[in-house]
Amino acid sequence: MKPFSRKAEKKVRMNMAELKTFFVYELEDTGERKELSISEKALVQYLNPEQVLVLVREDLRRIFIWKGAKSAVKKRFISSRVARDVQQELMKNSLYHRCKIVS
């Protein structure tokens, strides 16, 4: 078996460093999603009962849908479709695993 060249090994290390394991998407009224750049610790301050968020924890292989108590029914319904789209996008990228959707 042939070992990696230095160039290939460096590329693999760069890809692993760029690998994100936590994503947060906010759902708009139109059904579009907007990626938020917040940390896991800052998420608690960002949660709002009128929001619907799609949270991706790739290290746990899970996509969570957070539905605020006062969020619109339309957003709640759309969140399942958006989570499925995110799941398919992650599966296309060979660096990520298939994530299970938890609502």
Domain boundaries, the chain: 20-102
Residues 26-39 as b/e (b if ≥16 CB within 10 A, e otherwise) read bbeeeeebeeeeee
Q: How confident is the model at residue 29 (pLDDT cuts 50, 70, 90)?
A: confident
pLDDT at residue number 72: 92
7-19 per-position pLDDT tens digit: 554 444 444 445 6
Q: How confident is the model at residue 21 (pLDDT cuts 50, 70, 90)?
A: confident
23: β partners: 56
| SS3 of residue 27 by DSSP | strand
48-77 per-position pLDDT tens digit: 999 999 999 988 999 999 999 999 999 999
pLDDT at residue number 26: 94
pTM (predicted TM-score): 0.77
20-102 CATH: 3.40.20.10
Strand order in the sheet with 100-102: 33-36, 22-27, 52-57, 62-67, 100-102
Average pLDDT taken over every residue of the chain: 83
How far are the Cα atoms of 8, 11, 69, 89 from residue 48, in angstroms, in the given order? 44, 40, 9, 27
Question: Is there a contact between 12 and 4 (Cβ–Cβ < 8 Å)?
Answer: yes
